[in-house]
Amino acid sequence: MRRYHHIGIPTAVPQPGETYLELFDLYCTDEKKSSFGIQWMRYGPSCHLPELVKTVPHVAFAVDDLAAEIAGHEILIAPNSPSAGVVVAFITESGAPVELLQYVERPEAAWRPGQKGDRAD
């Protein structure tokens, strides 16, 4: 099953509260602090991610079985663990990047906008 998780929007403008991910040379905001799950993504000069991810907004879904969800799709970014408890992969769908996340340790981390009481303000 797929559940909406967030939308990632590339930007060149520093955002309040962004976090630096050294592994990817990128800065991102916390989608849980947005009522609609908006995550701003700012890429550094050493970022090795595909241009499609760095230039086109992506939609992200939490999934129960990442391997099954990426099967048969063009894989843009192979499964990896950018933070503890989650494995993510990017695929291409109709020319757009799509992020798929599988939580492996903390099911409460699969927050979705609109879940009562889960939004960090």
* Alpha carbon distance 4, 76 (integer Å): 19
CATH architecture of the domain formed by 2-109? Roll (3.10)
Residue-wise pLDDT for 49-98, tens only, equals 999 999 999 999 999 999 999 999 999 999 998 888 999 999 999 999 99
Residue 119 has pLDDT above 60, yes or no: no
More confident site: 106 or 104: 104
Residue 57 contacts residue 10 (beta carbons within 8 Å): yes
CA 30 from centre of chain: 10
112 CB burial (10 A radius; 0-12, 13-18, 19+): middle
Domain extent listing, the chain? 2-109
Q: What is the pLDDT of residue 106?
A: 55
Average pLDDT, the chain: 89
Beta bridge partners of 10: 41
